[in-house]
A and B are shown apart, each in its own frame.
Chain A
Amino acid sequence: MSVIKQQQARWKKWLNRRIPPARSVTLNQKSLFILPTKAGYSFLLVAVLVFLAGVNYRNSLSFGVSFFMVALFQVALWQTWRNLAGITLTARKADSVHAGQLAGFHIACRGEEGRQQQGVMIGWPDTTQPDEGLVRVDPLGEEIETTVSCPASKRGWLSPSRLRIETIYPLGLFRAWSWVDLDQRTLVWPGLQTVETVASTGFGEEGHRIVPDGMDDFAGFRAFNPTDSAAQVDWKVLARSDELLVRQFHGLAGEDLWLNYDEAPGRDMEEKLSWLASQCVQLGNGTQIWGLRLGGQAIEPGQGTSHAHRCLDALALYH
């Protein structure tokens, strides 16, 4: 283990002792850190210049201004600290997303009653974004719920690192901050890809082309939707009547549409899972009934968004 990693681990351990993970954290002197900002250091530099003006011009009021700036610096220290102290962060729900998207974590930020706490920035720092991607909250003595997003890169459980909460209000001369672990996690589903909807039980070499003509499964025609796959269009009907119709198949008992991991296209597991997930999302939007076979486990056929989510959860946790 490299020295940096060791240090990081030690730092993590220390933080865990100092600010233990909890669903609700109230910031206090134990959990707050504070240091001057760049602007704060510049401000002190200006104070020094003013002091030198006072020395060289024997100008008492310049001394006064210089000392005022130093005193204000001190007041800024306390005021900035106080702007964060007493804030309570509470974990609320977290939305599941697909890998590659931003997972939204809902966090309630309650200011201390009767205090004008504002300019509280919450989030997971991302230096490419304005404000490092932090979200501004102005509690002003009340509770405000905000959504903080965290990039979800991999499927599976996403437990984001410690949440950064900071403020430079009121003067911008100091930055008070803390790292809190709200013990939040969310399930990240496999990433999406563009796929054509499978509409039958069979899979050919290309995974989606073969459409059996069996009359048992055929349920009738319906008008073409822009979302429909080209494979479902009955080209014969089109040739005959210029009508763009889609053949519908009923998932009959025992012959429901089964998505099968083993038959999913893709070079590796992640690609296969991604394909399956994309199918689940599309199927979930339609009326199709489908089931999922994933290695040893099987999810019984169902329909609709909640069924899709169940399948996606299973895909997210598959290994």
Chain B
Amino acid sequence: MFGKKNNTTPPKAVTRAASFSLVIILVMVSLPLVPLLPPGILALAALTVIWRLTLLRSRGSNPGWIIRTALVIAALVMIVMHYGTLLGLEAGAATLVSAYTLKLLEMRSRRDALLLCFLGFFVAVTGLLFSQSIPMTIYLLTCLVMLVSSLVGLHQSSEKTAVLPVLKTGMVMTLQSLPLMVLLFVLVPRIPPLWVVPLPDNSAKTGLSDEMAPGDIARLSQSAELAFRATFTGAIPSPDERYWRAVVMHFFDGRRWFQGESDDWISIGVDPNKLVSWYPTDPYWPVPSEDEESVVYDYDIILEPSGRPWLPVLGSATETFEGAGVTRDWRLLAKDNVDLLKQYHMRSGQLEGFDRELPYWLKKVSLQLPKNGNERTRALAQELKQRHGDNVSGFIEDVLYRFRFQQYYYTLRPPLLDGNRIDRFLFDTKRGFCAHYAGALTFLLRAAGIPARVVAGYQGGELKDGKIIQVRQFDAHAWVEFWQPGYGWERVDPTAAVAPNRIEEGLESAVAMEGSFLEGAIFSPIRYRDISWVNSLRLKYENLEYQWQRMVLSYDENSQKDLFKKLFPGQDSLMVLTRLLIISVLAVMVVTAVMLIKPWKQRMAPTERYYRRFCKRMARKGIPRKPGEGPEDYARRIMGERPELGRQAMQVTSFYIRLVYGEEQSGDLGKLKRAVLV
């Protein structure tokens, strides 16, 4: 089925112990893939494993070709029905696992078993494409030890069934491999991807979305999953400056705020392609420049896979890099969805003067509201506008004052809204979280003729080691940007008015009274931050994870080049790498060889050793053995020349000959030794 060999030599059988270990390995390496596999494939795998185990107990019979073919077809059909394709990463993984289990079922010879082991390595790697965390790495190492051990087991004689010695050998060989592995990991020159591959599907991941209906951000607030880590060089922004922009929502349809599809932009006469300027072209719209007073932060971000193209940036993005672009609303966008860990370097901060002149179309979009609905809010906007005239700041102060001193509450458990949602929130329920406040403020501003938009991203993050800010999904946040003539866009966060501690101290403190922080995630260590030992353990682990990400997982061609530029300044890093690689591989080989051969104690067979010692003694007494002289002739010569030594010579020689020519009797070796040492 998967490659048959017709050969005259009968195949080598696989021992039961080895077969059993292969079943265990199959289960182990497939386990990380279980959440991805369609239930049908899981059932198929379970069936084949049980069948194999039954065969191992010498029951049942091997599946015939009809059953095997049927199983293959069943697997393929199930995969196509589940994923709609055989390509794609998940479908590919499912195909691989099916092939692997079916191969296990039809395994006969040692050749099949070897193939299974090799497939095991490959399936283990497939699991890595979906997670590279520290626990996964430890699990991977266990799998590797098992794989090596079963390779050893395959070559053991069938009488030996003890598991521990084999495991020990596997472990020892794994440990012996690690030094060279680390060397290769550091020194083998990394290359950028060679061709496009199907990437993991992250569409179902929790994360920001491009629209904001009530409830979305509240859902995120239940997740303690890491969103990204930023490592700062130099100044660190204070908590109330940590606004990470990711999505800007220009449109409101009465129920939800959204970013706008191509059609939405075309309908107002804007080419959606012109909204992004991809690297390396410069934006054709004016970009504010830095001056001495502007605060600019310098940081590296490691973004967890999000399945979305948004690259969070502190404040507004003005520069870009390979594979990314700056949007018209000053965000950073990746060309493709971020499906793998992504690292990027950014400089951004609190520049001023974004869109001092607001283009007509942008102004139109930033004032867009449904034709009717939410009449009470519109009335309030008109009333405020009359009170403040063109004083936008006064207008906003008024709204924030209202949020601060009237009976508004910040809650993760807001009542459900329907009908005129903004009206209901502003005047009736007065309970909500950032999305409600940001939406309401933007509506008010737009209704009063002030261009405004909702911005979603992350706010805050946990500062670690004084230079790393760690942002989790529950730090997701929404705020408002409004436009002032002559100044440009300015940020205002209505949540800061109603719940200042959300901005200063984070979500946990803001909802402390309510107790709704990470309600659903009872096992998340973040939830128990106030228990000191849990927290210190968590911090230590997170630190380890961070170092792991930075040192190991993000070690790519760029970081390799940087590292070796730093170590060997002024030299071509590729040359340095090649040289070091050759030297260190040779060094490892030589060290291993010396350790194994132990040239300082060349051992001969004991018989030979004793006889040589005898010859040496005779030589010292004046009768050296001539080259090519047989032992018997030598003994006869000794007898002739030095009769007093003859007896010993004869004894030694007879034992020696008996030992060497295989007519030895028990104890001959001891007798030879005694005869030599007399």
Partner of A119, one of B157, B596, B597: B157
Minimum distance in angstroms from A139 CB to a CB of chain B? 12
Complex: how many Å from CA A74 to CA B118?
Answer: 16
Tell whether, in the assembled complex, residue A56 and residue B194 are in contact, meaning their CB atoms are under 8 Å apart: yes
Q: Which of A57-65, A259-267, A278-286, A296-304 contacts B (4 or more CB under 8 A)?
A: A57-65
Tell whether, in the assembled complex, residue B122 and residue A46 are in contact, meaning their CB atoms are under 8 Å apart: yes
Chain A residues near B661 (CB-CB < 8 A)? 23, 91
Chain B residues near A29 (CB-CB < 8 A)? 597
Query: Is the C-beta of A50 less than 8 angstroms from some C-beta in chain B?
Result: yes
- CB nearest neighbor in B for A76: B173
* Cβ < 8 Å to B, chain A residues 207-264: none
Complex: how many Å from CA A316 to CA B156?
Answer: 42
Tell whether, in the assembled complex, residue B185 and residue A64 are in contact, meaning their CB atoms are under 8 Å apart: yes
Partner of A69, one of B121, B140, B588: B121
Query: Is the C-beta of B569 less than 8 angstroms from some C-beta in chain A?
Result: no
Complex: how many Å from CA A131 to CA B604?
Answer: 30
Query: Is the C-beta of B199 less than 8 angstroms from some C-beta in chain A?
Result: yes
Minimum distance in angstroms from B391 CB to a CB of chain A? 52
Known: A56-B195, A65-B128, A171-B151. A82 touches B603 (CB 8 A): no
Tell whether, in the assembled complex, residue B662 and residue A108 are in contact, meaning their CB atoms are under 8 Å apart: yes
Minimum distance in angstroms from B11 CB to a CB of chain A? 8
| Number of residues of chain B lying within 8 A (CB) of chain A | 72
The range of chain A's interface size is 35 or more
- CB nearest neighbor in A for B157: A138
Query: Is the C-beta of A269 less than 8 angstroms from some C-beta in chain B?
Result: no
Known: A60-B552, A72-B173, A78-B592. A171 touches B155 (CB 8 A): yes
- CB nearest neighbor in A for B553: A60
Tell whether, in the assembled complex, residue B603 and residue A86 are in contact, meaning their CB atoms are under 8 Å apart: yes
Query: Is the C-beta of A186 less than 8 angstroms from some C-beta in chain B?
Result: no
Query: Is the C-beta of B202 less than 8 angstroms from some C-beta in chain A?
Result: no
Tell whether, in the assembled complex, residue A70 and residue B194 are in contact, meaning their CB atoms are under 8 Å apart: no
Tell whether, in the assembled complex, residue B180 and residue A74 are in contact, meaning their CB atoms are under 8 Å apart: yes
Contact with B along A73-102 (1 / 0, CB 8 A): 011101101100110101111000000000
Complex: how many Å from CA A21 to CA B114?
Answer: 37
Contact with A along B575-613 (1 / 0, CB 8 A): 000000000000011001100110000111101100000
Partner of B122, one of A49, A58, A132, A170: A49
Chain B residues near A85 (CB-CB < 8 A)? 597
Complex: how many Å from CA A52 to CA B552?
Answer: 18
Chain B residues near A292 (CB-CB < 8 A)? none
Query: Is the C-beta of A318 less than 8 angstroms from some C-beta in chain B?
Result: no
Query: Is the C-beta of B476 less than 8 angstroms from some C-beta in chain A?
Result: no
Minimum distance in angstroms from B124 CB to a CB of chain A? 7
- CB nearest neighbor in B for A145: B662
Tell whether, in the assembled complex, residue A62 and residue B128 are in contact, meaning their CB atoms are under 8 Å apart: yes
Complex: how many Å from CA A78 to CA B177?
Answer: 11
Known: A61-B553, A90-B660, A118-B156. A55 touches B178 (CB 8 A): no
Tell whether, in the assembled complex, residue A59 and residue B129 are in contact, meaning their CB atoms are under 8 Å apart: yes
6 smallest CB-CB distances across A and B, nearest first, come from A92-B662, A71-B180, A71-B177, A67-B184, A71-B181, A56-B197
A-B contact pairs, 28 of them (CB 8 A): A24-B607, A52-B194, A55-B193, A56-B194, A57-B129, A58-B340, A59-B340, A60-B132, A61-B136, A61-B137, A62-B125, A65-B121, A67-B184, A67-B188, A71-B177, A72-B148, A78-B592, A81-B596, A90-B662, A93-B663, A118-B156, A127-B8, A128-B8, A128-B9, A132-B9, A170-B155, A171-B152, A173-B151
Name A's B-contacting residues (CB within 8 A).
23-24, 26, 28-29, 39, 42-43, 46, 49-50, 52-53, 55-65, 67-72, 74-76, 78-79, 81-82, 85-86, 88, 90-93, 106, 108, 110, 112, 116, 118-119, 127-132, 136, 138, 168-173
Beyond known contacts A86-B603, A116-B169: 6 more, CB 8 A cutoff: A24-B607, A70-B184, A75-B177, A93-B662, A93-B663, A119-B155
